[in-house]
Amino acid sequence: MVRAGLAPIPAEIAGESGADLRLLHESGLPEEAYLLEVMPSGVEIRASGGAGWFYGLQTLHQLLPGDGSLPDAGYWTLPCVRIEDRPRFRWRGLMLDTVRHFFPVEVLKRLLDQMARYKLNVFHWHLTDDQGWRLQILRYPLLTEVGSRRTESPLAGDRDSGDGVPCGGFYTQDEVRDVVSYAAERQIRVVPEIEMPGHAGALIAAYPHLGNTDAPGFHPAVWTRWGVSPQILAPTDEVFEFLENVLGEVAGLFPGDFIHVGGDEVPKQQWRESPRAQKIMKAAGLKSAEEMQTWFLARIEKFLRAQGKHLVGWDDISEGGLLPSAVVMVWRDWEWARKALAAGNPIVMTPTSHCYFDYLQGPQESEPEAIGGDLTLETVYSFKPVPGDFPGGEAGVLGIQGNLWTEYIRDRDHLDYMAWPRAAALAEVAWSPCGSKDWGSFERRLASHVPVWKTRGIRFRPLDLPGTADGREP
Ligand code: TNX
């Protein structure tokens, strides 16, 4: 055992009290595990590295009464406890869609702060889509010059009309590096998402020759409605070269192991109707547009492997057959999870039934406008991500993730309202051992987080507002 002090100590804890807080190295503990002991002689946190110390400190912080500010007495009184703790899953994610609405870096950092408090460790950053391209790529400046701007968005309360208000924004590479290091200091890895071959309308608006220019209805433009644009990337060598150059820059910006390439909801009509795409399909011996999607992404997967990265994609990537080593993010039918696991592909469970934080969390009449759906706090908490019949049980399940799609989430306060407290429920599912959940206890404990959220200016959804149908099972 050696004395160590690598993990940042929250200012309130370090304080001026001179509390005897020891961070001790214990190599036998798994990567994110910690042992926290509060004793009359002081506090000890044992871990095998930074992640464990960091999580021990988060738990210590949660033991502090109220909002964490120093009481009048000038010191805190902590209960003597011994907590041995480790996460159930290694992927405990939250996704933010920064395309449908743009959120400045400050808002991302606030979200990362909250994630850290709940020991969530993956920030999935949705950066490109039909409605915008939000990541600076040095080699292709039009991606942001053209692709980050749309002329208008759907009107609030009337999805089929436009609001006439231009909307734009993107992150510079310096800003991305800043976010990545801010996240890393909080033990959060950032997984960027660059969508292909569908949800790529903004890319095609910037570089129209990469679309299916010979398909009927080819219309390059940054999409101004929600839903899915029919414009998809052409399956040409030129497109692959472009994507590889983009992904090369992305790989350099994001040091983590994973790059998400979307792959969801690809409308295949243009591939069926483009003579050029059909020719490529036949030459490659592919029987369907679905097979061509797998072929397309297999080529990208090979490129990413050569860069030392794993491809992650939404479960739609399996429609034309599974890619050899892709991580499948399951959002629709749980059958996709079983198929992926049976083929040996790891999965992240993020089904709409329990993880879509853009869905309504109470009666529609009394909630802010949302995409629809029905996802109460209790339903999130009831999430059982690994049913008994998953091939290989829990072994292939990397973890779980909540998704904040932002078609109807326009600003920071609304984002808070949709994320909290639901993301806290998800965090408990992600961290706690299977079978240890207790809704009553969660509700009681959650109440004690309210003063902290208030101090931090988090505009959470008040806990006494009504939910709707609860406790849905998968
Ligand atoms: C489906 S989930 C989408 C998103 C939308 C979301 C709205 C997924 C892979 N695709 O493009 O924003 O529904 O809930």
Cβ–ligand 1 distance for 228 under 6 Å, the answer no
Nearest-CA residue for ligand 1 atom 9 is 264
pLDDT value of residue 466: 85
As a dihedral over the C-alpha atoms of residue 95, residue 100, residue 103, residue 108, rounded to 10 degrees, the angle is: 0
Nearest-CA residue for ligand 1 atom 8 is 264
Residue pair 259/192 in contact by the 8 Å Cβ criterion = yes
Helices (H), 64-208: 105-117, 142-145, 173-185, 201-206
**Consecutive 10-residue averages of pLDDT for the chain (474 residues):** 36 51 96 96 95 97 78 84 97 98 98 98 98 98 98 93 97 98 98 98 98 97 97 98 98 97 97 98 96 96 97 96 95 96 97 98 94 96 96 96 97 98 98 93 94 94 80 40
Tell me which of 85, 265, 290, 319 is the catalytic residue: 265
Cα–ligand 1 centroid distance for 160 (angstroms): 18
Cβ–ligand 1 distance for 223 under 6 Å, the answer no
Beta-carbon-side half-sphere exposure of residue 29 (alpha carbons within 13 Å) = 24
How far apart, in Å, are the Cα atoms of 139 and each of 16, 136, 193, 194, 206? 50, 9, 18, 16, 13
129 a catalytic residue: yes
Helices (H), 139-257: 142-145, 173-185, 201-206, 237-253
Residue pair 382/472 in contact by the 8 Å Cβ criterion = yes
Cα–ligand 1 centroid distance for 392 (angstroms): 28
pLDDT value of residue 468: 67
Angle at 441 between CA 435 and CA 442, to 5 degrees: 85
Nearest-CA residue for ligand 1 atom 6 is 405
Task: Tell me the three state secondary structure of residue 473.
Answer: coil
Largest CA distance in the chain: 78
Residue pair 124/134 in contact by the 8 Å Cβ criterion = no
pLDDT value of residue 145: 98
Angle at 49 between CA 43 and CA 51, to 5 degrees: 85
Query: Which is nearest to 346 in space by CA: 305, 311, 381, 309?
Result: 311
C-alpha–C-alpha distance, residues 65 and 277, integer Å: 63
Phi and psi (nearest 5°) for 427? -60, -40
C-alpha–C-alpha distance, residues 274 and 285, integer Å: 17
197: preceding bond cis by omega (within 30 degrees): yes
C-alpha–C-alpha distance, residues 56 and 446, integer Å: 19
Cβ–ligand 1 distance for 331 under 6 Å, the answer yes
Q: Report which DSSP code applies to 7.
A: S
Task: Tell me the three state secondary structure of residue 415.
Answer: helix
Q: At what angle do helices 289-306 and 275-283 cross, to 10 degrees?
A: 70
Q: Tell me which amino acid residue 116 is.
A: A
pLDDT value of residue 73: 83
Cβ–ligand 1 distance for 314 under 6 Å, the answer yes
Tell me which of 101, 124, 126, 199 is the catalytic residue: 199
Does residue 23 come out as left (phi exceeding 0), alpha (psi in the -120 to 50 range) or beta?
A: beta
Cβ–ligand 1 distance for 453 under 6 Å, the answer no
Query: At a CB cut-off of 8 Å and minimum separation 6, what does 210 contact?
Result: 203, 204, 233, 234, 236, 238, 239, 242
Residue pair 398/89 in contact by the 8 Å Cβ criterion = yes
pLDDT value of residue 9: 43
Task: Tell me the three state secondary structure of residue 127.
Answer: coil
Cα–ligand 1 centroid distance for 198 (angstroms): 12
Cβ–ligand 1 distance for 420 under 6 Å, the answer no
Cβ–ligand 1 distance for 371 under 6 Å, the answer yes
Helices (H), 49-189: 50-63, 105-117, 142-145, 173-185
Neighbours of 283 (CB within 10 A): 8
Residue pair 261/312 in contact by the 8 Å Cβ criterion = yes
Cα–ligand 1 centroid distance for 275 (angstroms): 30
Nearest-CA residue for ligand 1 atom 13 is 405
As a dihedral over the C-alpha atoms of residue 123, residue 127, residue 130, residue 136, rounded to 10 degrees, the angle is: 180
pLDDT value of residue 2: 28
Q: At what angle do helices 173-185 and 237-253 cross, to 10 degrees?
A: 50
C-alpha–C-alpha distance, residues 139 and 127, integer Å: 17
Cα–ligand 1 centroid distance for 234 (angstroms): 22
Our mutation pick for probing the ligand 1 site, out of 265, 358, 408, counting the most ligand atoms within 8 A of Cβ, is 265
**Alpha carbon of residue 446 to chain centroid:** 22
Phi and psi (nearest 5°) for 439? -60, -45
Instruction: Please give the structure tokens belonging to residue 157.
Output: 């309360």
199 a catalytic residue: yes
